[in-house]
Homo-oligomer: A and B are copies of this chain.
Amino acid sequence: MVVCDGLADRPLREGGLTPLERAETPQMDRIAEEGICGLMDPIAPGITPGSDTAHLSLLGYDPFQTYSGRGPFEAAGAGLPLRKGDVAFRVNFATVDENLLLRDRRAGRLRDGRELEELLRGIRVEGAEILFRSTSSHRAVLVLRGKGLSHQVSSNDPHTTGVRVEGVRPLSAAGRKTARILNEFLRKAREVLEEAPLNRRRREQGLPPANYLLVRGGGTVPSLEPLESRFSLRGACVAAAALVRGVCRLAGMEVAEVPTSTTGVDTDLEAEVAEVERRLEESDLVLYSIKGFDEVSHDGDARRKIEFIERFDGYLPRLREMADFLVLTADHSTPVEVREHTADPVPVVIAGPGVRTDEVRRFGERSCARGGLGRIRGTELLPILVDLMGRSRKFGA
């Protein structure tokens, strides 16, 4: 299952074609011809997906049931061993002054927080176990584990500098205990960070100290029935994006490491495709998710989007040969003229033995609307694929 993050688009003002329609994609078109095509609402019509909620859908999980915030998926992507009911947050190392006025949301884009992680992991708070991990540069994840916790607490991130950072607040009665624990942790973390040798060195160098933690994206870790028990599929994922990796890990999939893989158009497609092939040897399903399309779309760069589509197109014959079935789709639309995700449905094609081919000859947002799949939803894609693979279980007699 090849998921081109943010591939789908809208017609460009100039020329009236989408980047995918404008790009030369003989290989994608060949797969459209060979397979059954359609349009897919990653979540539901008019619902603008995130990459996390969209990938949850594509793996068959209803995000309305399983998603309460991105924290759990960030934390799982960072490799933290999570349990159902844990409450997880994204964290920024930030800089505050002595009056708690926010000076820098990213602590001068701190390069590496691992030294601080060590110190913070020593903090104990009554009522919850605390897991903390520095991920990349100024980013980290925080997990609270214990009875009666909830993600129903506010963020403490004012999003603008010069403003005083307040404590988190409960957003409902259920969040009171969590807010108290989190505020105590944040207070103790500040004490630890102020004294940290790294921050002493940063002050000496005239750099903003990483002396405060901003938390946001709180969510409760859901219980996702693993793909293996749900569909009898051993799954693996090849993806650079931490959120996608987290979704896959929580779905019980193996998550591959490709050191030269990035979230940009500079990623090492060659190495990723080779890893997909390796993973297929011991997996029934490999999700290959490529982030570069989305990145250039957020930049509003149609030319680079088209170039990346054309470059990626060249890898499709190899991907097609690796397995009986190939699904090619996107997790959501990111129109370059909008620079944000939109709810427009995405094109999808399934190629493989027994599919009811249709008359679609081009892989594109509008051509696929005439395909034999009609308009489906993200959560329906994997069950349809599993059925074509001959692995579905009959409901009834």
Contacts and interface: CB of A to CB of B under 8 A. Distances in A.
A47 interface: yes
A54 interface: yes
Contacts of A377: 45
25 contacts: A10-B355, A44-B380, A45-B377, A45-B380, A45-B384, A46-B381, A46-B386, A47-B392, A48-B394, A48-B395, A49-B394, A50-B396, A52-B397, A53-B396, A63-B396, A67-B396, A73-B397, A217-B397, A341-B394, A342-B388, A344-B356, A356-B365, A356-B369, A370-B370, A373-B375
Given A356-B366, A380-B45, A392 B342 contact: yes
B53 A384 contact: no
Q: How large is the interface on A (under 10, 10 to 19, 20 to 34, 35 or more residues)?
A: 35 or more
Contacts of A374: 39, 369, 374-375
A397 B48 contact: no
A383 interface: yes
Nearest to A53: B396
Interface in A333-369: 335, 337-338, 340-344, 354-358, 365-366, 369
Contacts of A46: 380-387, 392
A52 to B, nearest CB: 5
A138 interface: no
Copies in the complex: 2
Interface in A315-346: 335, 337-338, 340-344
Contacts of A95: none
B393 A48 contact: yes
A394 to B, nearest CB: 5
A376 B344 CA distance: 13
Given A18-B356, A356-B365, A374-B374, 9 more contacts: A45-B377, A46-B381, A46-B392, A47-B395, A50-B396, A63-B395, A337-B354, A338-B354, A344-B356
A47 to B, nearest CB: 6
A15 interface: no
A394 B47 CA distance: 7
A70 interface: yes
Contacts of A375: 373-376
Contact of A11 (B48, B73, B354): B354
Contacts of A344: 356, 387
A372 interface: yes
A384 B343 contact: yes
A206 interface: no
A47 B393 CA distance: 8
A63 B381 CA distance: 21
Interface string A71-102: 00100000000000000000000000000000
A335 B354 CA distance: 9
A373 B354 CA distance: 24
A43 interface: yes
A259 interface: no
A290 interface: no
Contacts of A394: 48-50, 340-341
A390 to B, nearest CB: 7
A394 B53 CA distance: 10
Which 9 residue pairs across A and B have the least CB separation, nearest first? A46-B383, A50-B396, A53-B396, A374-B375, A45-B380, A343-B387, A70-B397, A46-B384, A50-B397
